[in-house]
Amino acid sequence: MFVYRYILCNQTNMFVSILLFLMVHNDFSINWLRCSQMEIAVEFSIPVQCQRLWLFCKRQNGTWRPVKPFSTEENNLSMTSLGRLLSRTFLFLNPDGVKLFLEVLNDSSPKNLSNNDGLVFLKLYDPEQTQIRYIGMVFVKASSRPSDILPKLRSLAGFCADEEMELYEEIKFEPSAMCDAIDANITFSESQIGQGDIICYQKSSKSLSHHAYPSVQIFFNRIHDLKAVVPVLYFSISEDLNSSSLLLVA
């Protein structure tokens, strides 16, 4: 028997992400990855051929991130065989079950990923509204530089082509907030930015000093230092799953 819990995180016309929490209770011989994909296809009308499942693990710093996509061979393994394989490779697996991240493929999605490809999530900070929101994801090469993706970041944010920006890596929030500035001119590998990492970006804070929290770093530190934070989750989704948004405001 399978127990599924789905959390729909974000969907736009170009991108969907779903966290699937899956636990197997008794039938360890079944091909549960394939079963999961068929269940998702029925539940969310996402064809199996448009799905790519990733292993979703807890890092040593306490954050949860996708760490690797499952290969075709791994997709065909039984729960027992896959569990043995993962336990040898990932010693930090959750004993309560395997957590999966679902990437929904579209025409622009890379079909064959290599060890040089990193899935990076993007958040946009707006100092004027004092809001940070998820804006999409991008695949980057370890040998490429953040400067290579600046045009895409500007396009996603609706910035003009020559807008100056600042980039930060969101690392963790506990026990303290850690958000480091990113040098756009050194490689992702040199910056140690790769699979599952989060890049937060904004307009240059040089002209935003009059705002209470002009930079991502100051904003994150302020959120962490608040004695009582009541997060408000704005979430809307249409009946046909054509659009939705997720926004956390403190």
Q: What is the pLDDT, as a whole number, of residue 177? A: 86
- Using an 8 Å Cβ cutoff, are 187 and 143 in contact? yes
CATH class of segment(s) 117-249 = alpha beta
Q: What is the pLDDT, as a whole number, of residue 234? A: 43
- Using an 8 Å Cβ cutoff, are 234 and 225 in contact? no
User: Of 65, 81, 105, which is closest to residue 31 (Cα–Cα)?
Assistant: 81
Q: Tally Cβ neighbours within 10 Å of residue 135.
A: 20
CA 140 vs. chain centroid, Å, equals: 13
Percent helix / strand / coil, the chain, rounded to 5: 25, 35, 40
Alpha-carbon span 188 to 232, nearest angstrom:
33
Question: Residue 95 is encoded by which pair of tokens?
Answer: 């004993």
CA distances from 67 to 5, 118, 129 (A): 20, 9, 32
Q: Where are the alpha helices (DSSP H) in the chain?
A: 32-44, 72-75, 79-89, 150-157, 188-191, 216-225
CA 104 vs. chain centroid, Å, equals: 12
Which residues on neighbouring strands pair with residue 217, listed in sequence order? none
Q: What is the pLDDT, as a whole number, of residue 221? A: 86
Taking the domains of the chain in order of start, what are their residue ranges?
2-104, 117-249
Q: What is the pLDDT, as a whole number, of residue 116? A: 92
Chunked in runs of 10, what are the mean pLDDT values of the chain (250 residues)? Answer: 40 38 49 83 90 88 89 82 73 62 90 92 94 94 97 97 96 88 97 95 88 90 66 40 34
Q: What is the pLDDT, as a whole number, of residue 24? A: 42
Which residues on neighbouring strands pair with residue 144, listed in sequence order? none
